[in-house]
Amino acid sequence: MSGNMAEKAAQNFVEAYEAARTALPGADGWLARRRAAAIESFAGAGLPHRRLEEWKYTDLRQTLDKAGFASAPEHMGAVVLPEAAAASAFSTLDRYVLVFVNGRFRADLSKAARLPKGVELHGLADVLTEQWAKDLIERRFDEARQAEEIVDLNTALMNDGMCLRIRKGVKLDKPVHLLFLAADGGASHTRNLILLEEEAEGTVLESHIGEAASFADIVTDVALGDGAKLDHVKLQDESADAVHLATLRGEIGAGARLSSFTLTLGCGVSRGQSFIRFAGEGAEAHVNGAYALRAKQHADQFCVVDHAVPRCASNTVFKGVLDGQSEGVFQGKVIVRPDAQKTDGRQMTQALLLSRDAAMNAKPELEIYADDVQCAHGSTVGELSKDALFYLRSRGIPEAEARRLLVLAFLDDVITLAPHEEVRDILRGLVSGWFEEAST
């Protein structure tokens, strides 16, 4: 198996699996067999590279070969959160908090007591004997085959994660906040499972912070029953030496709604993947985000929405500002199956270049096999308007402040799509702080 691996990083991951497989959760039974199949699939495919169409703009193989991340150590001592954690961790909100250090759950740092009846919150190892967890882990999204091969890496090595189940008709009283801290560097592999049964409702917040060089490999599997509603907000603000690979796989029942928003500020190289499949009519999916990059940061957003049934609506909007030598990527696809009439599917990506050395690559796609649909996609890349700058400066506003106002107004259009007003205010404050740091 490992003999097929040509690159160093992939070989290291295979060796890490061989060394840890007997100590990983679910070391016997169905998951052990699934892990073995997953690492074999990963070994055959290797890490993604630019010759693969879905990874045309992000060479994960080259990135991880250079970094050479070993497995992150288990950190059991005291933890001092970075100074920025107060804002990035949504600390002003009333919420349940689950803290993960180097990818492993820390009960001593978490606060998730007195959950409402009908809400179950567990670690990964505690749910592996339950059928719903098995169903989520074993799902495949064949319309994104190349992405599924990298998910196999997570399946083989996942050692912890958050598992949330909300029973039929139950509404979570306050958000569940997942705080991921890279304290010591290294590679971590986390699997989150979220199941909302019929008419259930809940909010999940994520924040990823840390000052260590690290590789975060995260897969979040979501299943929404008929009429369920999930709001999901993710903040990514890690070290400039960090690599972040996150995959969201969601299946949405009839009349259900998924609203997901990602703000990317920190990280050297990041790739966020979203795969949404409609399983029932009348459902909605909103997958949106904003990014603010500088120096040599690279952020890739990849989104596939599969309209497999009629009368569903999807909307994807990503907007970003790029400074220095940073590079942004958006790749999206809306698939409309032959029987999926009355589909409404839309994608838009917009980028603002603050530097001549910054770059943006955009590739939105529509793949339509039905005729009674409303679908659209668009992409724009530009610079700050000289006329708008002149207008503000002619009214006594200094140039730096004028640029800040224009940048914030540009990003605010998409931030307004994030769920919950308090969360939106926090995101606006973070973007404003990013601009001030970039200006300095």
What's the pLDDT at 65?
A: 84
Cβ atoms within 10 A of the Cβ of 57, count?
20
User: Using one digit for the tens of pLDDT, what is the confidence trace for 263-307?
Assistant: 999 899 999 999 999 999 999 999 999 999 999 999 999 999 999
Give percent of the chain with pLDDT exceeding 90.
73
CA atoms within 13 A on the CB side of 3: 0
What is the token pair recorded at 188? 């971590």
The token pair that represents 261 in the structure block:
């928003």
Mean of the per-residue pLDDT values for the chain? 91
Residue-level pLDDT at 7: 76
Provide the pLDDT for residue 3: 41
Cβ–Cβ under 8 Å, residues 369 and 316: no
Dist. CA 67–CA 55, nearest whole Å? 19
Predicted confidence at residue 400, as pLDDT, reads: 86
Give all strands (DSSP E) within 238-372, no chain letters.
Answer: 243-252, 257-264, 269-278, 284-293, 298-307, 313-322, 327-336, 343-353, 359-368
84: pLDDT strictly greater than 50: no
Average pLDDT over residues 396-404: 89
Give the orientation angle of helix 399-415 with respect to helix 386-393, to 10 degrees. 120
**334 beta partners:** 305, 366
Q: Which pTM was predicted?
A: 0.94
